[in-house]
Amino acid sequence: MILFPDLNLARRLEFHEAWSCEAHARTQAQLYPATAAISQPVAEGRMVYCGRKSPLSRVDGWGLSGAVSAAELEAVEAFYQSRGLRPRVDVCSLADASLLALLSKRHYLLQSQMNVYARPIDPQDGAGISPSGVEVRTASLEEARLWFSLNGSHGDWAEPDGMAFMLIRSLLKPDTRLFLAWLDGQPVSGGALETHNGVAALMAADTLPAFRQRGLHTALLRARLAAAANAGCDLALMHARPGADSQRNALRAGFQLVYVVDTLVKSSD
């Protein structure tokens, strides 16, 4: 089945992303109140703050419900500037043209781009044989800590730190699970799954360099699609930066490019 990338599809996928960021902020605020993580609505989207370093400190799902107003942008700018952060907005290519026009007028600049891929979920998803000697299963908290220490996710690139960020994003926030592929008693590949309102997002996929090109990513993808089908989801979502290896994996797994998200940040001038 081929998906038609219309506004209805974009709304489902972008509102899922907004939910994901909001759920992360809520969980972070509970576990690490000193980070002052918070989420507030802007139209049907969400403006999220999870710390000055966090990649989730941005606006998602905005501009998909009609024209945006200068008053909405002023609220967004006040939200972030009061926290010492330049406003950052993710703009779906199917968003109302007024959003991009308003951001351009207020001197927002392109920071990065992300391709968004989607595919219907089939009840038969998950069929296939894992590579010999490989076990794929959901991770406990301690197993997740081990994995994120092995793949280099720790560090000070997020609040309160990279390890905490990845644990919240991949395991601790609601309706989220981390899958790990084990070989000889060691986790060598991983990927998370989050499900909400029928949408399943496959994210945080990584394989240790010495174990790449062995079919581990495919095995993890099948396991997560099967879990999504069992959870009653009908639509799967993946993100990949243009030109990244993960976009080739997405296409091989039956995902199709449905739109692009531009991340714009307010100029410091």
Q: Based on the domain organization, do 38 and 21 belong to the same domain?
A: yes
Regarding whether 152 and 85 lie in a shared domain, the answer is no
Specify the pLDDT at position 38. 98
CA 65 to chain centre: 21
> Measured between alpha carbons, how far is 207 from 246 in angstroms, rounded to an integer?
11
Strands (E), the chain: 38-42, 45-49, 59-60, 88-92, 108-120, 134-138, 176-183, 186-196, 199-207, 235-240, 256-266
pLDDT at 269: 66
Whether 157 is in a domain gets the answer: yes
User: Are 50 and 13 within one domain?
Assistant: yes
The answer to whether residues 40 and 126 belong to one domain is no
Q: How many CB atoms lie within 10 A of CB 76?
A: 23
Claim to verify: residue 134 and residue 227 sit in the same structural domain: yes
Range of the domain at 78: 7-115+260-266
What is the model's pLDDT at position 158? 97
Are both 106 and 130 inside the same structural domain? no
Decide the pairing of beta strands 199-207 and 108-120: unpaired
What residues of the chain score a pLDDT lower than 70? 126-129, 269
Domain contains 246: no
Q: pLDDT at position 180, please?
A: 98
Task: Report phi then psi at 215, rounded to 5.
Answer: 85, 10
Q: Indicate if 108 and 136 belong to the same structural domain.
A: no
The CA–CA distances, whole Å, from 132 to 65, 123, 135, 184 equal: 48, 25, 9, 11
**133 and 191 inside one domain:** yes
CATH of the domain at 131: 3.40.630.30
For the chain, how many structural domains are there in total? 2
Residue with tokens 């997740």: 144
pTM to 2 decimal places? 0.95
Cα Rg of the chain (Å, integer): 19
Residue pLDDT, tens place only, 82-110: 999 999 999 999 999 999 999 999 999 99
Minimal CA–CA distance to 202: which of 114, 91, 118? 118
